[in-house]
C-alpha cells in the first residue's frame, strides 16, 4: 500500500468543542438537587421510570379480561400439577417410583443442578419456585397494549424479586449447603462470615475486592513492554515494543472503551491480544483513558474524540511516518472510532487504512439488556445524579451490570462465598472487571441521549464541529466482531453495520460474551467462530440467514484478524522508533492513567 499524507484540512482541523450551554434556572436546580438526593436511596434507578412501566402493565392487564382468565386458568393448571407432584413425592417416600417433574429446570439455570434438589422435601421447594417463576413470566409478557420497553422492565423486575426468594439462597432450604454444614460441623458458615466481614470492610473503605491485588497493571497484567508516547488531559498513548525483526509499515491503533481500563486487551501474557499482534509483526498503539474526577464534569464526547483517537492518530503518524493506520475499537471505543472515521471520510482524509470494531455498536435500535435502564425518565434521573457529583461512579455502573446477571454475579456468589465458605480466587479477567472507571457527567449524558435514546449516529444526526456525520462516508474495509452471548452489545445489533457501511465488511461471530468472546486467544478450549465477507454492492442478508451461510471455524478468531490486517498492509520492514526522536520520555507502559483510582 502507498503511504498517504494527511490532507491540509486535517492538519488545520478546527476545535471540536461545542458551544457552552446556558445555566439552568433556579427551579431546575432545585429539581436536580432533589433527584440527586433521591438517587442515593434508589441506587440510581428512577422510581418514576419503574412506576410508569408498572402502571402501563397493570392498567392494560386490568382492561384485558381474556388475559386475566388465561392467567387464572394457568394458575389452576399449575396448582393441579403441583398437587399431583406432591402426592407422588410422598408416595416415593414410601418406596414407590420417582415423581415426574411438573416443570423442568432450564438448561442455563444452574441453581438446582445439585442432586440434593431431587430429594424430599427440597424437590418440592424447587418445583414450587419454578412454577411460580413460569407463571410470572407469562403474567408480565404478552399483555396487549403494553409497550415493549415497559414489558421488558416489568418482566425484569419480577425476575429480580423472584431471584431474591429462590430457595437456594437460604441455609435451611439449600440441600447442598446443609450437607456441607453437617460435614464441616458449621466451619463453612464461620468461614463465610469471615468473608462477609472482609467484603463489608473493603466496601466501606473503597478497597478492591479480595484477591484482585494479585493482578497489578504492569506486572501480572498490562505487562506487554512499551512506552508512553503521548499524554493529554484525557488519554495516554502507549506504543508497544516490537518482538519481531521486521513489522508491517501500517501500525494498529486500538481505541478501548473508557468505561473500564484498557488492559482487557492486554491481560496476562498468554491471553493478551496486544502481545499476540506484536508477535505477528504488527506495530501496536493503545489509548489508555484517564479516570475522570469531579473537575472533569464538563468533558463531552467531542473532548473524547479530539483528545482520544484524533490526537492519537496524529502522534502515530509522527512516529511511523505518513502511512495509513489500521484503527480498531472495542465496545464504546468502537462507537467513538466510527464517529472519527465518518468525520475523516467526509473530509476526504484517508489516513485510516482499515476499521475494526470489536463488540461495538453503531446502530442502537436493539441495544440489548442495558436498554432496561435507558428511557427518558431514567436518563434524566442519571443526569441529575451525575450533575451533583460530576461523574457516574464505578459502583453505580457495577450495580446495573450485576442486576442484569443477578444470579451469576450476586446470588450465586453469596451462596458460594458466605454460606458454603468457598471463595473462588479471581482470575485476570475478574480482576480487570473490578477495576472500573468513572465517566464524566457531560460525556455520559451526551452518549446516552445521542446514541441509546435518539440513535443519532445511525440516523445521520450526530454532529462533529457543527456538521452531521455518517458512517457510510468511511470508505475503508471493515472487520467487525460480535459475540454469541453478549448482553451489552448483542451480535444482531453489532451486525447492523451492514446497513450503514457501503464498503467491504468481514463479519465474525465468535463464542463467548462481551468480554470473554474478545479475549479468545489461540488454544482457548471450546472456542469457535463463524465468518463471512460482504463485498460492496452485494444484497443485504439478515443476521439469521447470514449465520446459516457463514463458514464455521474451530478455535480463536485472532489469527483470522491478524491475517486480514496483514493482507491490507505492505510488506514488512524495519520497525519504527519508540516515540518521537528527541522527545522527552513519558515513562514506560502501562503508564500513569491506568493506575488511577
Question: Would you please indicate which residues are annotated as catalytic (active-site) residues?
Answer: 331
| Alpha carbon distance 252, 283 (integer Å) | 6
| DSSP 8-class letter at 25 | P
Return the C-alpha cell found at 384.
Answer: 441529575
137 burial class (0-12, 13-18, 19+ CB within 10 angstroms)? middle
Buried b (16+ CB within 10 A) or exposed e, 380-414: bbbbbbbbbbbbbbbebbeebbebbeebeebbbbe
Q: How many angstroms separate the CA atoms of 306 and 77, rounded?
A: 62
> How many whole angstroms separate alpha carbon 362 and alpha carbon 585?
37
Half-sphere exposure of 397 (CA within 13 A, CB side): 18
Going through 411-495 in order, the beta strands assigned E by DSSP cover 439-440, 463-464, 467-468, 478-483
Torsion sign, CA atoms 317, 326, 343, 266? negative
DSSP-assigned states of every residue in 161-183: HHHHT-GGGSSTT-HHHHHHHHH
Residues 464, 450: contact at Cβ < 8 Å?
no
CB neighbours of 7 closer than 8 A, spacing ≥ 6? 347, 348, 349, 350
CB of 533 closer than 8 Å to CB of 584: no
Q: What is the DSSP letter of 468?
A: E
Grid cell 439488556 is found at 369
d(CA 370, CA 404) in angstroms, rounded, equals 8
Q: Would you call 40 exposed, middle or buried from its count of C-beta atoms within 10 A (0-12, 13-18, 19+)? A: exposed
Torsion of CA 582, 583, 586, 587, to 10 degrees: -10
The helix-helix angle for 175-184 and 187-205 (nearest 10°) equals 110
Q: Where are the alpha helices (DSSP H) in 271-424?
A: 273-279, 301-305, 311-320, 332-346, 376-389, 394-404, 406, 412-413
Unique residue bearing C-alpha cell 472515521: 341
Positive or negative: CA dihedral 172, 176, 177, 178: positive
Amino acid at each position: 500500500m502507498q503511504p498517504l499524507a494527511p490532507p491540509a484540512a486535517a492538519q488545520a482541523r478546527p476545535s471540536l468543542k461545542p458551544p457552552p450551554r446556558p445555566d439552568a434556572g433556579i427551579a431546575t436546580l432545585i429539581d436536580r438537587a432533589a433527584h440527586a438526593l433521591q438517587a442515593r436511596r434508589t441506587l440510581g434507578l428512577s422510581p418514576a421510570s419503574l412506576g410508569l412501566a408498572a402502571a402501563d402493565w397493570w392498567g392494560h392487564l386490568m382492561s384485558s379480561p381474556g388475559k386475566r382468565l388465561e392467567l387464572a386458568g394457568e394458575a389452576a393448571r399449575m396448582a393441579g400439577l403441583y398437587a399431583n407432584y406432591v402426592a407422588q413425592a410422598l408416595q416415593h417416600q414410601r418406596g414407590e417410583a420417582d415423581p415426574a417433574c411438573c416443570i423442568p429446570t432450564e438448561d442455563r439455570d444452574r441453581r438446582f443442578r445439585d442432586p440434593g434438589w431431587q430429594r424430599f422435601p427440597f424437590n418440592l421447594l424447587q418445583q414450587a419456585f419454578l412454577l411460580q417463576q413460569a407463571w410470572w413470566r407469562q403474567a408480565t409478557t404478552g399483555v396487549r397494549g403494553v409497550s415493549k420497553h415497559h414489558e421488558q422492565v416489568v418482566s425484569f423486575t419480577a425476575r429480580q424479586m423472584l431471584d431474591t426468594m429462590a430457595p437456594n439462597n437460604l441455609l435451611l432450604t439449600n440441600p447442598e449447603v446443609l450437607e456441607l454444614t453437617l460435614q464441616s460441623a458449621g466451619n463453612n458458615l464461620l468461614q463465610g462470615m469471615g468473608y462477609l466481614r472482609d467484603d463489608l470492610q473493603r466496601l466501606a473503605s473503597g478497597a478492591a475486592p479480595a484477591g484482585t491485588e494479585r493482578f497489578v497493571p504492569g506486572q501480572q497484567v498490562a505487562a506487554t513492554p512499551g512506552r508512553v508516547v503521548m499524554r493529554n488531559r484525557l488519554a495516554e498513548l502507549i506504543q508497544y515494543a516490537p518482538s519481531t525483526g521486521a513489522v508491517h509499515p501500517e501500525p494498529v491503533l486500538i481505541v478501548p472503551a473508557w468505561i473500564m481500563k484498557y488492559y482487557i486487551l492486554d491481560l496476562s501474557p498468554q491471553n493478551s491480544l496486544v502481545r499476540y499482534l506484536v508477535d505477528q509483526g504488527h506495530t501496536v498503539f493503545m489509548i489508555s483513558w484517564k479516570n475522570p474526577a469531579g473537575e472533569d464534569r464538563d468533558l463531552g464526547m467531542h473532548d473524547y474524540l479530539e483528545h482520544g483517537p484524533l490526537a492519537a492518530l496524529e502522534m502515530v503518524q509522527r512516529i511511523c511516518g505518513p502511512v495509513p493506520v489500521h484503527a480498531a475499537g472495542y465496545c464504546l471505543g468502537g462507537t467513538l472510532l466510527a464517529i472519527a472515521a465518518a468525520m475523516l471520510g467526509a473530509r476526504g482524509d484517508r489516513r485510516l487504512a482499515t476499521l475494526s470494531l470489536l463488540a461495538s455498536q453503531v446502530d442502537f435500535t436493539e441495544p440489548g439488556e442495558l436498554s432496561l435502564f435507558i428511557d427518558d425518565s431514567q436518563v434524566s434521573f442519571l443526569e441529575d445524579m451525575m450533575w451533583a457529583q460530576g461523574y457516574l461512579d464505578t459502583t453505580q455502573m457495577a450495580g446495573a451490570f450485576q442486576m442484569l446477571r443477578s444470579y451469576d454475579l450476586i446470588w450465586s456468589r453469596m451462596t458460594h462465598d458466605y454460606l458454603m465458605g468457598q471463595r473462588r480466587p479471581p482470575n485476570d479477567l475478574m480482576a480487570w472487571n473490578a477495576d472500573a472507571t468513572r465517566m464524566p457527567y457531560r460525556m455520559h449524558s451526551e452518549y446516552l441521549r445521542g446514541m441509546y435514546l435518539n440513535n443519532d449516529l445511525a440516523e445521520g444526526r450526530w454532529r462533529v464541529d457543527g456538521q452531521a456525520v455518517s458512517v457510510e462516508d468511511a470508505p475503508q474495509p471493515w472487520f467487525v466482531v460480535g459475540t454469541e452471548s453478549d448482553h451489552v452489545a448483542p451480535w444482531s445489533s453489532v451486525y447492523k453495520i451492514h446497513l450503514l457501511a457501503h464498503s467491504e465488511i468481514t463479519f465474525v461471530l465468535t463464542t463467548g460474551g462481551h468480554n470473554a468472546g474478545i479475549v479468545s486467544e489461540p488454544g482457548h478450549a471450546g472456542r469457535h467462530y463463524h465468518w463471512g465477507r460482504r463485498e460492496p454492492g452485494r444484497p443485504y442478508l439478515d443476521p439469521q440467514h447470514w449465520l446459516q451461510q457463514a463458514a464455521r471455524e474451530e478455535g480463536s478468531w485472532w489469527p483470522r484478524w491478524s491475517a486480514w490486517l496483514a493482507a491490507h498492509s505492505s510488506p514488512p520492514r524495519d520497525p519504527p522508533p519508540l516515540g518521537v526522536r528527541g522527545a522527552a520520555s513519558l515513562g514506560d507502559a502501562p503508564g500513569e492513567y491506568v493506575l488511577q483510582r
